[in-house]
Chains A and B, each alone.
Chain A
Amino acid sequence: MTAGSAPADGPVVVDARGLRCPLPVIALARRARDLPPGAVVVVLATDPAARHDVPAWARMRGHGVARIEEGPAGVWHLTVRLAAAPA
């Protein structure tokens, strides 16, 4: 597998570790803009505000929040499923 690639149906990862609010949400929104409807994005974040703001952003934009988990070393794994394409 070449560097930076992902399995064909695997989630897209936005690495926002070390970024302070509101930068993790901005990084997620930038990435989401170029993804197809229904794509799954995992945000990695160390900022405690991101744990609240990523789900809040998803609700504002009509996306779904699939999972919120705290991993080792204080890294949050925030999984968002982008909304399906508007009919």
Chain B
Amino acid sequence: MPADASQRTYLDAGGRAPLHPTARAALEAATAEGWADPRRLHTEGRRARLLLDGARESIAAGLGARTEEIAFAPSLTLALHHAVLGVAAGRRRIGGTIVASGVERAAILQAARFAADSHPGGRVETVGVDALGRVDTPAMTAALAAPGVALAALQHANGEVGTLQPVAEVHDAARVAGVPLLVDAGASVGHIDAGAAWDVLAADPPDWGGPDGVAVLAVRSRVRWARAWPEDESEGGWFPGGVSVPAALAAAASLAAVRRERSAGRDPRWAQVDRIRARVAADVPDVQVVGDPVARLPHVLTFSCLYVDGEAIVGGLDRRGFAVGSGSACTSSTLEPSHVLAAMGVLTHGNVRVVLPPGTDDGAIDRFCSVLPAVVAEIRGALGVADL
């Protein structure tokens, strides 16, 4: 056994990266200063409200939005649910069709089905992707130009395979059709710029090293929406009950910090992912490295190993000190494999998803690449499939 098995290397940062030091410091400071209910009228409440307003302003600057366009949500899932339900309700009279790429996050696809079920003519039109996971732009353009479309959803980048989506082209088409575009930027904000091609945008602080328990929904003021839940004035009516002020402040402080770090030079994770991609393809037989090798997120890489059980490979790497994710069916609570891998037509079993947290060092990448071929070979040896 390697002597350093107790040394852990965390390569499963998608949606939950280790807490950024700035987030930790901001959480502590804001817990001391901003613990009160921001809706109260006394000095303590006012202090919490000022902190929350400051967080909103800072997040708005980071996303290229106006301060009043930002709502804090308690989770990315709820942010996406309410974005779909709220816009669908506001545009109910226009129609009940929701257009979405087939590789959107489950929260969007589930909310779209839920919204469509409550509309007499409701339906969800999912648009296919190519082998790299990029949406079929002409098909998406045609779908959202049809009559009766309440909203369209296209992620900024796919968090499972890293591929960037053609949001600029699709947003142009949506604008021509007069359909609002919801862009899930939960996997990209904090790593690359969100851009301006959106009408509604969701971001996920724990994905960039911010705290758990807070997410961001930015809604352009031109977008028509209506509550599809009980009335409550918190967060502009979007999220009843509001959010934790310290969490919102730590989210804003950590986004500003990662943006500053990024502006200091090229993110080393771009080259680290290229290195893993090349070494996996060279050193592991019968492997499919998936996702766009160029138009991608800086820190995400996914590959599938033929004849290998996803649970076994996650376990084998874990025993050697590496935490990775997987989209294989046997690693999910259901029997279903990742709908993203399935839509791309690539192998769903033996899947490994590597999502590098900020600050990953090159040594960790080399150690991972050295250990992986033996882990795969061991599993294939046990199954007797090495010669197939």
Within 8 A of B (CB), among A1-57: 20-22, 25-26, 29-30, 33, 47-49, 52-53, 55-57
A55 to B348, CA, bound (A): 11
A29–B337 CB distance below 8 A? no
Chain A: minimal CB distance from B290 (Å): 10
Interface residue from B309, B345, B346 paired with A22 (Cβ < 8 Å): B309
Cα distance, A20 to B349, chains bound together (Å): 10
Chain A contact residues (Cβ within 8 angstroms of B): what range?
Answer: 10 to 19
Contacts A47-B335, A48-B335, A56-B348: A21 and B288 contacting too (C-beta < 8 A)? Answer: no
Alpha-carbon distance A21/B383, docked complex (angstroms): 12
A51-74 contacts to B, CB under 8 A, are: 52-53, 55-57, 59-60
B342:A22 contact, CB within 8 angstroms: no
In the complex, how many angstroms separate the beta carbon of B332 from the nearest chain A beta carbon?
Answer: 10
- Do residues B307 and A22 form an inter-chain contact, with CB atoms below 8 A? yes
The answer to whether B385 touches A49, judged by C-beta atoms less than 8 angstroms apart, is no
Contact A21 B349 (CB under 8 A): yes
Given A47-B329, A48-B337, A49-B337 in contact, is the A22-B388 Cβ separation under 8 Å? Answer: no
Contact A29 B345 (CB under 8 A): no
The answer to whether residues A55 and B328 also contact, given A25-B307, A26-B383, A26-B385 and a CB cut-off of 8 A, is no
- Give every chain A residue within 8 A of B388 (Cβ-Cβ): 26, 29-30, 33
Pick from B310, B335, B345, B349: contact of A25, CB under 8 Å: B349
Give the residues in chain A near B346, CB-CB below 8 Å: 56
Taking CB atoms and an 8 Å cut-off, the chain B residues in 314-346 that contact chain A are 328-330, 335-337, 341-342, 345-346
Residues of B within 8 A of A20 (CB): 329-330, 335
B382 nearest CB across to chain A (Å): 12
CA distance A26 to B308 in the complex (A): 9
Who on chain A is nearest to B304 by CB? Answer: A56
Bound complex: CA A30 to CA B286 (Å)? 15
User: When A21-B349, A26-B383, A29-B388 are in contact, do A52 and B342 touch as well, CB less than 8 Å?
Assistant: yes
Chain B residue nearest to A29 in the complex (CB):
B388
CB-CB under 8 A from A25, the residues of chain B are 306-307, 349
B347 interface residue, CB < 8 Å from A? Answer: yes
Given A21-B337, A21-B348, A56-B288; A49-B306 close (CB under 8 Å): no
Residues of B within 8 A of A (CB): 286, 288, 306-310, 328-330, 335-337, 341-342, 345-350, 383, 385, 388
10 CB-based A-B contacts, threshold 8 Å: A21-B337, A25-B306, A26-B307, A29-B385, A49-B335, A52-B345, A52-B347, A53-B349, A56-B288, A56-B348
